[in-house]
Amino acid sequence: MKIALIRRIDKFIGVPLCALLTIHRILFTKATQYARHANKTQKIIFIKLSEQGSTVISIPALQRASKLVGAGNVYFLVFTQNRPILDMLGIILPENIIEIDACRPIRMFFSFLRALCRIRKEKIDTCLDMEFYSRGSAIIAYLSGARARVGLHAAPGCGPWRGDLLTHRLAYDPTLHTELFFVRLVETASHGADQHARARPHPQSLAALPQFTPRLQEKDSLTNIIMQRTRAPVTFPIIIINPNTADPLRVRAWPKENFIELGKKIMRDIPSATIVVSGTYDEQRSTGEIAAAIPGACSLAGKTSLRELLTLYCIADVLVTSDSGPGHFAALTPINAVILFGPETPLLYGPRSPNTTILYHAQECSPCLSAYNQRQSTCKQARCLESISVNEVYRNITSALKRRGGQ
């Protein structure tokens, strides 16, 4: 289901539902309900329906929750289409991952009801809403039956209204990295709303991200796939281009022509390079056109599972991508990533990896995508991205290759 339709559902159905449930809470829920159970967190569920890249950012929060209540008592609610990264990480038990199928509105409705029944059956006492001002997630949190509900609350003039359904109401901090915000949700739930709701986690307190290690057979299999697609031996360096042409937030995409020009420049200056264009199933046509325009390049869009994609990152040298999930996936592997940020700021969403190079040219209007506007922009010409030149990206690729050669 397209993101525009999900937003309309969230607005036109979510607003009246939030209003009705807020009235229900005021009339039938005692204000002291949570106070009687403070510091007795036993079961936690995270709500993060969309964006697998954000799931990677949530790893420290998931680890802290597992340490707090035990891995068997941590649950995760997610859209079916975004489950693969959770299975890859292995932090949440497979049986504790609860899905909502968002393919079609009717299917989504009945899947939502099944998920809600499962959550209530598990008698989960703490719900952490990781969505930014989504009315749907606030509704789920309230209907879950959890006595502690932690998430963002929209004060007047600060973000879209979504009722008053939470017990631990946090204000959005536009200076706090999203990874730390997710950790703050866990800490607020574990320490209580009054004493520690304003606690600010420190970046140095976060453990290093887990690293994905593929089997030798998996590496050989990916190498053979590339050979079949290019009809030539795989030579190094291997450079992956991820143009992200089907990004629901189209304004985040670097121009397609730039990726083509970049690929041609790489092949002129580094003729031994193997260029692989990656993407999703829906991007097969556009990535195929990019690969066809670059001598010797091949497209694997829609041809790899998530595990195979991470394996590809483990055998490749450099990934070039716009701000999207693959940039965060790369942080789980040794690959050097060059990530192009535009309408969103890396101060909030930049991957935490020593092998990541971020290119960001902030404009007077930057960032134009934020939690306050539900990541919607009227921008028709992303100067923040257009100002990142092919030559600048190429220079950072060669710098990454030099660093990799010295590792």
pLDDT band at 196 (very low <50, low <70, confident <90, very high): very low
The reply to whether 211 falls in a domain is no
pLDDT band at 382 (very low <50, low <70, confident <90, very high): confident
The reply to whether 63 falls in a domain is yes
Quick: pLDDT tens for 200-252.
666 666 888 999 999 999 999 999 999 999 999 999 999 999 999 887 677 88
pLDDT of residue 201: 67
pLDDT of residue 280: 94
Helix (H) or strand (E) holding 151: strand 148-152
CATH code of residue 160: 3.40.50.2000
Q: What is the mean pLDDT of residues 337-358?
A: 94
Quick: pLDDT tens for 264-279.
999 999 999 999 999 9
240 and 130 assigned to the same domain: no
268 and 402 assigned to the same domain: yes
Q: What is the mean pLDDT of residues 342-361?
A: 94
Q: What percent of the chain has a predicted confidence (pLDDT) above 90? A: 75
Handedness of CA 321, 326, 330, 331 (dihedral sign): positive
Q: What percent of the chain has a predicted confidence (pLDDT) above 70? A: 92
The reply to whether 296 falls in a domain is yes
82 and 228 assigned to the same domain: no
The reply to whether 265 falls in a domain is yes
278 and 148 assigned to the same domain: no
Domain count, the chain: 2
The reply to whether 179 falls in a domain is yes
Angle between the N-to-C axes of helices 135-143 and 105-121, in degrees from 0 to 180, rounded to the nearest 10 = 40
Q: Is the pTM of this model over 0.85?
A: yes
pLDDT of residue 78: 98
pLDDT band at 133 (very low <50, low <70, confident <90, very high): confident
pLDDT of residue 157: 64
Domain span at 362: 216-406
231 and 179 assigned to the same domain: no
- Amino acid identity, residue 293? A
pLDDT band at 198 (very low <50, low <70, confident <90, very high): low
C-alpha span between 157 and 174 (Å, rounded): 14
Q: What is the mean pLDDT of the chain?
A: 91
User: Which has more pLDDT, 406 or 255?
Assistant: 255
The reply to whether 49 falls in a domain is yes
144 and 221 assigned to the same domain: no
pLDDT band at 373 (very low <50, low <70, confident <90, very high): confident
3-state SS class at 356: strand
Report the number of secondary-structure helices (H) and strands (E) in the chain. Answer: 17, 12
